[in-house]
Amino acid sequence: MDSKEFVKELQSSNNKILERLRSPVDILSGPEAAMSIPSLLKIALKNEVEATELAAVWMPTTANVEVKMAFARQVGDEAKHYRLIEERLHQLGESLEGFNPLGHGYSPLFKFLSVLRDMVDRVAAAQFTREAIAVVKNEQFIALCEAKGDHETARLYRDIIQPDEEFHHELGRRLLEKYATTEELQSNARLSARQTLELADELQGLAFKQLGIHHAPGC
């Protein structure tokens, strides 16, 4: 299959699961409404740390310089997001003294992604798919912030963080169109993307069932 046709097919397949990640419930009712914006932002800090570290870990083991630099761009962006979210929490009166976003360990999604070895698998799973999940979750979080009257946090995500995540996703698209050129590479990339989505879907379901969390930003 032509690589551009493959990416188009992969996007269509991904969209079917991404739709399940969108919330059908009233964002101001149900148990998730009890989650404060600062609490959700602290979850976001963990997501940003994991995204930063994942891209950083992959850089030394990626021979292709173009893809290595794509990971480098992501390291910088995700670290910037962490700092901005941290600043916003301070503005909201939250103390982060003693707070460790990785205090309870890495997420199952990070553990899955971190063992991927093939360059195309990494791009398909993380930049193309995980960042698409982040875009969906950020849309929900922005809507929640607006509904709760926190327009400044909504602006931070809408104007700065979300455009970066969309860029990462589109960068992943371009890289897959360039490098996912064989049937084997496409098959493996398809599997990695599906496993990423299914794991994210499962984890969201557990977070909602056990903790009432549904509108946390990022992934």
Q: What is the pLDDT of residues 104-160, one digit of tens each?
A: 999 999 999 999 999 999 999 999 999 999 999 999 899 999 999 999 999 999 999
Answer whether residue 26 is part of any domain. no
Is 216 inside any structural domain?
A: no
Rounded CA separation 38/93 (Å): 9
Q: Is residue 11 part of a domain?
A: yes
Among 25, 219, 39, smallest CA distance to 136 is for 219
Q: CA 89, CA 41: separation in Å to the nearest integer?
A: 7
SS3 115: coil
- Please indicate, yes or no, if residue 219 is contained in any of the structural domains: no
pLDDT for the residue 120: 98
Is 24 within a domain? no
The percent of residues above 70 in pLDDT, for the chain, comes to 88
Which alpha helices (H) appear in the chain, and where do they start and end? 3-21, 37-58, 65-91, 108-114, 119-122, 131-147, 151-156, 162-179, 183-211
Q: Is the pLDDT of residue 206 over 50?
A: no
What confidence category does residue 204 fall into, taking pLDDT thresholds of 50, 70 and 90? low
> In this predicted structure, what is the pLDDT of residue 29?
54
Residue 148 included in any domain: yes
pLDDT score for 124: 97
Decide if 98 is inside a domain: no
pLDDT score at 99: 93
Question: Which token pair is 81?
Answer: 């997001």
- The half-sphere exposure of 180 on its side-chain side, counting CA atoms within 13 A, is 30
Would you place residue 214 in the very low, low, confident or very high pLDDT band (cuts 50, 70, 90)?
low
Q: Look at the alpha carbons of 107, 23, 161, 101 in this order and tell me if their dihedral is positive or negative.
A: negative
Instruction: Give every CB contact of residue 103 below 8 A, 6+ residues apart in sequence.
Output: none
CA–CA distance from 199 to each of 18, 81, 89, 125, 133 (Å)?
12, 24, 29, 11, 11
Residue 211 has pLDDT above 50, yes or no: no
Report yes or no on 7 lying in a domain: yes
Cα(137)–Cα(218) distance, integer angstroms: 6
Q: What is the pLDDT of residues 40-52, one digit of tens each?
A: 999 999 999 999 9
pLDDT of residue 20: 75
Of the candidates 189, 69, 63, the residue with the CA atom closest to the CA atom of residue 120: 189
Roughly what angle, to the nearest 10 degrees, separates helices 3-21 and 162-179? 140
Which domain range does residue 70 map to? 3-19+32-93+106-211
Average pLDDT over residues 163-177: 97
Let me know: does 200 contact 133? Beta carbons within 8 Å: yes
Our count of domains for the chain comes to 1
The CATH number of the domain holding residue 60 is 1.20.910.10
